[in-house]
Structures are given as structure tokens and as C-alpha cells.
Amino acid sequence: MKFAKMNGCGNEFVIFDVRGRGGPLHLSAEQLKSIADPSAGAPCDQIMAIEQTSGAGDAFMRIWNADGDEVAACGNGTRAVAWLLMEESGSDLVNIQTSAGLLRASRAGDRRVCVDMGAPRLDWEDIPLAERMDTRGIDIKVGPIDAPVLMLPGAVNMGNPHAVFFVDDVSKVEVATLGPMLEQHPLFPQGANIGFAEVRGPDEIRLRVWERDAGLTRACGTGACAALVAAHRRRLVGRKAKLILDGGALIIEWREADDHVLMTGPVEWEFEGEINGI
């Protein structure tokens, strides 16, 4: 089966278009891990399928992490799929159905796409958390009780759960050590993506994200959205900011009029390939 290899700010995707097959794409965890394996020639952070939609939208988007688990949302991947659909149709607008809801995307320049990610979910039950608490700063501390090095991350659900720690210098944070420890914290019954955000000004945030079941990636679109929302709720930034990730920059806006989060950023086509046996 043919696939498109793309990335968004360095977040790598293998994308299958199976609309002509008459049904969803079924892949085992072993197949998914094999596709994402760096030695296979198309290493990626997520595998995605464009499928026929039975309801609203131009297509249904299915998403798996590199470990084989299916997930509900991927912001950078949504931009990539939206770009493919817009290139195919010649339209500047596309609606994509996902298990997290309908996402609307529009062309924002040459290989730039804006995705309306919908409204953030902020109630403790919607993250979800294991117990009731204020999601502007949940009760997690790392380090000595009397002098924690990390504490009170903001919690946001952007189609998937996020916890965002605010730090003075993200370059000094051991993301690869702390991320896997925190993603399965007892407060997160479904696990969580863990962000480390350095606020550099009222309209700029430097961000690194340990993605649940995927690890440290060069960018995380839903993580950038969550960081902007969490930072604005703490009055650290305005409603619109540049989020600088390892692989590039995204513009995130939490629109006051309808509570929706808009994510704008680049997509990059790498190559087309084929995998046998699928």
C-alpha cells in the first residue's frame, strides 16, 4: 500500500489513504511498530489513515502512535492530512472527522495550514484526572517536598490529555527522564502528554513535549495548544502567541468569541513510498 511521508515542524507522519478500500484500515500493534521503526526507512511519530466518513466532514482521520496505540488527536498530523485533502480538491477549506470531533482546516499560505482545534476541555473530569482539583495548577510536585523543582502544572484536554509545567529555562529540563515518569502519574488514569513551557514574553513560549506513548518528538500540535491555554489561564501570556518547538514554530490563538483554539503552522511533504503486506 502506498503512503505519504510528511512532517509538521519535524513531527513525522506516515499517512495512508484508504478511502478506496471501502472500510477502515486495520493494523495490528506489531504492524504499526514495524512501520514506525527507524530502520524501516520511514521512521515516524504517528501513523495516520484517511478513511471514508459516514457522517459530517470530507474524510475521517484515524491516528496511531508509534507504539501501536490508537489516539484521538494529533494537531500537526491534522495539518498534514488537511493539506493533502485541499491539494486533492483544490479547495482552501476542509472538514475532517476524528474520534475527538469535527476539525475545520483552512489554507494559510504556501504549505501553511490553520486548524480550528475546537474548545479546550478544562474540567477535572474531562482531562481526565483521578480526583477533583483546580486544573489551572494540579497537585503534582517533583523534587524535595520543601523545595520542588517542578510543581502545579496546568491541565488541559485538547482531544487528548496534557499537563503543562512552567519552567524558567526549558533547556535545563531533563525531558527524557521526567516525561516517562510523569506521563503515567496516578492522577492521570489515561496517561497524559507532559509539556515543559518557558514563557519568554506575553506572546512567546518555548515548549518541549513528552508525548504519551510516543516519547520526545520535535513538535506536538495539541501540546502547543494546551500550553497556550494553560499559560493564559495563569495570566502569563495573552490569547495569541508563538510557540517555539524543537522542530519549528506554531502560532496558537485561543479565540475569545467562541472559545476555540486555532493552530497555524507549516507542513512538509517528504516522499511517497509503498509498504507490502497491508
Known catalytic residues are 74, 220
Closest CA to 25 of 61, 76, 74: 61
239-276 as b/e, with b when 16 or more CB fall inside 10 Å? eebbbbbbbbbbbbbbeeeeeebbbbbbbbeeeeeebe
The residues near 232 (Cβ < 8 Å, ≥ 6 apart) are 238, 239, 254
The residues near 146 (Cβ < 8 Å, ≥ 6 apart) are none
Q: How many residues does the chain have?
A: 278
Instruction: Name the residue with cell 496546568.
Output: 154
- CA 192 to chain centroid: 11
Half-sphere exposure of 135 (CA within 13 A, CB side): 25
- Asked whether the beta carbons of 89 and 234 are under 8 A apart, the reply is no
- CA 49 to chain centroid: 16
